[in-house]
Amino acid sequence: MSFDRKRIRQDDPIHALMPYLMDRRCDSTIMSTVNMPLDPIRSYLRHKRREGRAVSHMALILTAIVRTVRDFPDLNRFIYNRKYYQHTDFSVAIMVLRDGAEPTMSKIYFDANDDIFTVHRKIEGYINTNRTGEVTNSADAWSRFLVSIPGVAGLVCGIIKKLDKHGLMPRAMIEASPFHATMAISNLVSIHTPRAYHHLYEFGTMSIFMTIGLEQYLPVKTRHGIEMTRCLPLSFTIDERICSGVYFALGFERLCHYLGKPEILEEANDY
């Protein structure tokens, strides 16, 4: 058994059967967008800047996600070879544009109780390391090696897929692979792109892909009625087999709670 996962038993017979009815992630994806009002987020970030504490939009969103998955651990599951597994850690793959717009992707590991300032530091360190191009991450190194020799990429990738399907992939490869993570995030704002739904990968252990799109003015129900409100769209593509629709709905509700009250993300224990 690979170090990054543990086998779990699905008690619900309907969910236990789902991997046999839909044996691929591309067959079982659901898509949803959470339109988060921007005013509470920006008000909090301005307040932190006045205090001399830099916090980014990405750090706030990621901290809220880390806490949500802590509160709803089934969101940290994946299905491989028709079996259910739980990640033994929480990691997020993030795409970074280097100088010259060359993309690279690796992953960051988070602890369940990381506060927003810790998450901000981890993101800043990750971006600075990958954006400069001075350090080649492991995923880039493996990719360049595989495509450098004709015919090797197809052969090696085929072997790796078979090993991973049975939990036999070497630890060094899993640690290098951005596809072996809890989820991936793509910040489309950085390339001035509206929200979009990204596909899930059949390879790896990722059950959730989130994109952050350009802000939009949307009708939102408030205590004063329906108002046009600046919102940040968070679009999710999810493997629906990992848990029930009710569980997903409660998870989204908790995420909105955290993003609506960012100050509670400053403490390790909240809610």
DSSP string, 117-140: HHHHHHHHHHHHHHHSSSS--HHH
- Kindly report, residue by residue over 111-142, the tens digit of the pLDDT: 998 999 999 999 999 888 777 655 455 666 66
271 is a domain residue = no
Helix H or strand E segment including 144: helix 138-148
pTM, to two decimals: 0.88
Helix/strand/coil percent split, the chain, to 5? 45, 25, 30
All residues at 6 or more sequence positions from 249 whose CB lies less than 8 Å from its CB, including other chains: none
Q: What is the pLDDT of residue 269?
A: 66
Per-residue pLDDT at 16 exceeds 60:
yes
175 is a domain residue = yes
61 is a domain residue = yes
All residues at 6 or more sequence positions from 232 whose CB lies less than 8 Å from its CB, including other chains: 35, 36, 38, 41, 57, 212, 213, 215
- Kindly report, residue by residue over 149-170, the tens digit of the pLDDT: 666 777 878 888 888 877 788 8
CA 238 to CA 27: how far, in whole Å?
11
197 is a domain residue = yes
First CA to last CA across the chain, in angstroms? Answer: 35
Count of the separate structural domains present in the chain:
1
Q: CATH number of the domain that 54 lies in? A: 3.30.559.10
Can you tell me which residue has the tokens 């629709």? 245
Task: Check if the beta carbon of residue 212 is closer than 8 Å to that of residue 61.
Answer: yes
Domain containing 73 equals 5-266
- Kindly report, residue by residue over 192-235, the tens digit of the pLDDT: 888 899 999 999 999 999 999 999 998 887 778 888 899 999 99
